[in-house]
Amino acid sequence: MTNEEIYLNTVGKNYKHLQEVCQEVCKRNGEEYSEDILNDTVLSVHKLIQKKGTLDDMSEAGIMNYFVRSYVNNLRMEKRYAYIKKRNDNIDSEELTELFEKSQTPINDKIIKDLLEDFSVLYIMKRVELEFPQEHYYLFKLKTLCNMTYKQIYDKTNIKKSRDKILEVKRWVKQNINRKIIKQEFFEIYGELFEN
């Protein structure tokens, strides 16, 4: 019998017990139990055994202990991922208020806000183009406007240290450009169009 078969047999035979243990661990840690994560863990441990060929301890107790630890890790990783996915470091209370107001404002204000958003992108791109070498600007454009991954960018351009160059631009943007500056510039250029 292969290690994969030993693992699957152990999990199949003890599934209900593993479910109860994972529920108990969640209860003890004050975490919410997830059946989906339990099922994902069955697959992820199986993939690990396929890849490595074995776990450190392939006894029934060893497999079950490893499984429960993996479940807890997967549960916490999922929560961390969901938190990071929802979090936006660049938003402050003023912008949160603005977002709320945007959903409550009349169509004219919505048009102005949409124009401001478009202007913001163009403004940032123009500043980056003026501040950095063409190569940096090009890489930053691919990342920002085309939403490409660092790997896709490197595969497309073959520019060495493309990730570092993009991060250098991002750091500069974060340190030198903010919503207030962009708004001020926007109303200096287009303000008279919106006066009644």
Please say if the pLDDT value at position 194 is more than 80: no
99 pLDDT band (50/70/90 cuts)?
Answer: low
pLDDT of residue 81: 61
Q: Give which of 107, 133, 126, 132 is closest to 185, Cα–Cα.
A: 126
pTM of the complete model: 0.44
Do 178 and 185 meet the contact criterion of CB atoms below 8 Å apart? no
- Render pLDDT for 111-148 as a digit per residue (tens, 0 to 9): 777 788 888 888 899 999 999 999 999 999 998 888 88
Listed by start position, the domains of the chain span 3-86, 93-194
- Render pLDDT for 50-60 as a digit per residue (tens, 0 to 9): 888 888 888 88
- Render pLDDT for 165-193 as a digit per residue (tens, 0 to 9): 999 999 999 999 988 888 888 888 777 76
Query: Tokens representing 151?
Result: 């790997």
- Highest mean pLDDT range out of 29-33, 79-83, 86-90? 29-33
Separation of alpha carbons 50 and 191, rounded Å: 63
